[in-house]
A and B are shown apart, each in its own frame.
Chain A
Amino acid sequence: MPAMFELIDFSEQGWGSALLKGLWMTLQISAGAFAVGLFIGLVVACLKLGAPKPIAALMRGYTTLFRAVPELLLILLLYYVGSMLLNAWLAQLGHDAMNVSGPLAAILVLGLVQGAYASEIFRAAIQAIPHGQIEAARAFGLSGFGLFRRVTLPIMAPYAMAGMANLWINLIKDSALISVVGTNELLYTAKQGAGSTRHYLLFYLTAAALYYAVTLVSNCLSARFERRIRRWMPLAE
């Protein structure tokens, strides 16, 4: 038994440092995709609420489609279509085909999925802002992006907080799906370790424990952050 655990320690033959590297990659991909999703979500939410009808309908279509199709399928689809388009474009420019398997592709793909969910959260949060606040800001002469940055964004943040914290947890779990297209994140590394040592249970349980640790810590931090971001909200809720 003890010999088995040497497989995941940090010695020369152990997979410990490889797994931690995978974890670090998972965190990087998740953080990047969260940022992309945040940006897409905000833009799409604003478009849904304020853009001309055809554009708003298009944005609603994006949300519906991306929430109805399995994430794994979306990842495969975006990944293959994306790399095909990129290579076609490169070929047109006269470059050689490129192998897209890096974390950047993972971030973009997960970010697109994430943006669909985030946009609904932001839309609800923006709609929860008391209208008087926006009117007051207008009366002070704020408009456009200034109004958005100084009034809409800070007031809606507490409303969006719980939903976004959930999304972050979901994102970490979804990032495991990226392993099917061969980005060397945590699950992919665990798969390699399991395959080469034949200790499947050990490696997958270790990886699961690492994911679990990340979600526990995330829950803890987001509860703290939520208290802080809500500190000026009326207590009545």
Chain B
Amino acid sequence: MIPAWIVEYVALLGRGLQTSISLLLISSVLGFVLAVLVALARLSKNRLVAKASLFYTSVLRGTPLLIQIYIFYYGLGSLFAQFPLIRGSFLWPYLRDGYWYIVFALVLSVGAYVGEVIRGGLLAVPKGEMEAASAFGMTPRQSLLRVRLPRALRLLLPTLAGESVMLLKSTALASTIAVIDLLGAANVVRAQTLQVYQPLLLVAGVYVCLTFLIEALFAFAERRGTPVRRSV
């Protein structure tokens, strides 16, 4: 019933799936931290910081991710290779592997796209709540971390679900620089079994499942995270 090539390559495809998921998790966590910083910079009173953040967002969102990946992997990668000091260092095994370039590119891109989203969320938090926080004697930092950011995130959960799906789809670009992610594994199977499209169809199905999973998780978080106004 199950085609022989699936049985034969199931381990490879499984490793590819692992790689895709680890790319997704690492770059969403790191990217989220960067995104909060980018959003705060955008809202900063310091004009220079705000402008710099705007420029960063605009450039990252205005150029294709694939070309950013090429710039980091081929551009910076070939630049690094010219320096014996870097080549000899303990970092070199990491700097040679496409995986970390993809993570770097994805983190920067999440920072730009999600940063813009979070900025909108921070602006949408009612001013009264911030004032209430400072009336309770919270420092600006406390009120940001305990009131403003959690409130903004709750408002943004549906948008963040969409952004996470976008990120999952972006991880597929890893296959363009020889990282064996899910799509990369499918391409290996295609090359070795000479099947034209069946492996692609299979991993497309896996991506659809992952997308549904992400959406279900966010829907769950939304139900759990939105406090019901309890009567005391």
Name A residues whose Cβ lies closer than 8 Å to a Cβ of B. Answer: 64-65, 67-74, 76-77, 80-81, 84, 169, 172-177, 179-180, 187, 190-191, 194, 198, 200-201, 204-205, 207-208, 211-212, 215-216
Distance in Å: Cβ of B173 to nearest Cβ of chain A: 6
In the bound assembly, the distance between CA atoms of A98 and B61 in angstroms comes to 37
In the bound assembly, the distance between CA atoms of A117 and B168 in angstroms comes to 17
Contacting pair B63 A191 (CB below 8 A): no
The answer to whether the Cβ of B101 comes within 8 Å of any Cβ in the partner chain is: no
Distance in Å: Cβ of B104 to nearest Cβ of chain A: 15
The answer to whether the Cβ of B200 comes within 8 Å of any Cβ in the partner chain is: yes
The answer to whether the Cβ of B172 comes within 8 Å of any Cβ in the partner chain is: yes
Q: Categorize the interface residue count of chain B.
A: 35 or more
Contacting pair B208 A211 (CB below 8 A): no
* Complex interface: chain A residues within 8 A of B200 (CB): 73, 76-77, 80
Contacting pair B183 A187 (CB below 8 A): no
In the bound assembly, the distance between CA atoms of A233 and B12 in angstroms comes to 56
**B69: nearest chain-A partner, CB-CB:** A204
* A69 contact from B77, B78, B207, Cβ within 8 A: B207
Contacting pair A180 B176 (CB below 8 A): yes
**A172: nearest chain-B partner, CB-CB:** B64
Known: A72-B172, A81-B197. 17 other contacts (CB 8 A): A67-B165, A70-B170, A76-B200, A77-B200, A80-B200, A172-B64, A173-B64, A174-B64, A176-B64, A176-B67, A187-B67, A200-B70, A208-B67, A208-B68, A211-B62, A212-B62, A212-B63
Contacting pair B183 A204 (CB below 8 A): no
* Complex interface: chain A residues within 8 A of B208 (CB): 64-65, 68-69
In the bound assembly, the distance between CA atoms of A80 and B63 in angstroms comes to 27
Contacting pair B70 A70 (CB below 8 A): no
B-side interface mostly: helix
Contacting pair A191 B197 (CB below 8 A): no
Contacting pair A204 B71 (CB below 8 A): yes
In the bound assembly, the distance between CA atoms of A70 and B182 in angstroms comes to 11
Contacting pair A173 B65 (CB below 8 A): yes
**B212: nearest chain-A partner, CB-CB:** A68
Contacting pair A205 B207 (CB below 8 A): no
Q: Type the 1/0 row for B134-176, where 1 means its CB is closer than 8 Å to any CB of A.
A: 0000000000000000000000000000000100111111011
Distance in Å: Cβ of B167 to nearest Cβ of chain A: 11
The answer to whether the Cβ of B74 comes within 8 Å of any Cβ in the partner chain is: yes
* Complex interface: chain B residues within 8 A of A69 (CB): 169, 204, 207-208
